Structure 1
Amino acid sequence: MIDDVDRIMTVMTVAFDPAFGEAWNRRQVEDALHIGNCHYYLIGEKGQQAVDGASAAGFSLSRTGFQEEELLLLGVSPEFRRNGLGRSLLDQLRLAAATRGAKRLLLEMRRGNPAESLYRSFGFFPIGERRDYYRTASGQRIDAITFTCDIA
């Protein structure tokens, strides 16, 4: 039976463009989950929770802090994009974070990330910037933008 980290890694392999180096390796995911304040959610291709080893079409990975939940990674396999799965993952994150006492969501992404329109439509807005934070495989530097969203 495939385990949950395998399912996360399967989606991550196809969801993140290797040119930007944003995907985590298996060890990074496992280490985050062992810390105890990190949480993940797996979603199936029809928007249902992917349970009991079922294939995952997407996932989210977040970290709980004091009254905050930081979205560390969100990925949807390319063949399932534009079907509302990203929004469903964000909806689930908002509900779960609220039950953990979060008052707001945070995320950081590279400038030009196509997911920015999804995040903005969900209510995220920029609050900060890190100049030249990311480095592509070709050596190009790209700014990171920090976003927040209040949990209502």
Structure 2
Amino acid sequence: MSTQLHQVELASGRVSDADAVDRVMQAAFDPRYGEAWTRAQCVGILTMPGVWLTLARMDGEVVGFALVRAIMDEAELLLIAVASSARRRGVAGALMRSMLAECRGRGVKRVHLEVRANNAATALYAAQGFTKAGERRDYYRAKSGETFDAHTYARDL
């Protein structure tokens, strides 16, 4: 029996990749929380200065992405998503490391992000050196009406 390793390939994305980003986002975000952005929101922000998109591919297919905005010496990880079929294969970690390297290259000194308090991604952020910086009570509202706190995280570079 042989084990086939699938290598994660990272590349810059652009507006023309919006359909692939939308497919990953719809597959990655649980619809009950309503956290996925619309295709129009993604396209709109990609045209703004200081915003970049990194795509993760495995076997030629887009399986993840990170969307980041930098202003002066600070950056915010706006979205990161990995299709459920590609989870636990190093995609999110590769995207995070790439995002941090790009931030350093752009002269960013501090990176921020926000996440729903009960989101399993908090373990990924902690592993990448992010620490909790704040909390917004009842910030997220699920389709059921249930609310969840938002936690903000930050990391100095």
TM over 0.5: yes
TM alignment of 1:130-145, pairs within 5 A: 130-145=136-151
Output the CA distance in 2 between the equivalents of 1:139 and 1:122.
32
1:116 pairs with 2:122: yes
How far apart are 1:127 and its partner, in Å? Answer: 0.6
RMSD: 1.3
| Alignment match, 1:92 | 98
| Alignment match, 1:61 | 67
TM alignment of 1:33-52, pairs within 5 A: 33-45=46-58
Output the CA distance in 2 between the equivalents of 1:141 and 1:117.
21
The answer to which of 33-42 and 81-90 deviates more is 33-42
TM alignment of 1:8-47, pairs within 5 A: 8-45=21-58
Output the CA distance in 2 between the equivalents of 1:104 and 1:9.
28
Q: Which runs of 5+ in 2 are unaligned?
A: 1-15
3-state DSSP class of the match of 1:17?
Answer: coil
How far apart are 1:75 and its partner, in Å? Answer: 0.3
TM-score, normalised via structure 1 length: 0.90
The answer to which of 37-46 and 71-80 deviates more is 37-46
How far apart are 1:66 and its partner, in Å? Answer: 2.0
Identity %: 40
TM-score, normalised via structure 2 length: 0.87
How far apart are 1:5 and its partner, in Å? Answer: 0.9
Residue-pair matches, total: 143
3-state DSSP class of the match of 1:18?
Answer: coil
| Alignment match, 1:75 | 81
1:103 pairs with 2:116: no
List 4+ stretches of structure 1 deviating above 2 A.
Answer: none
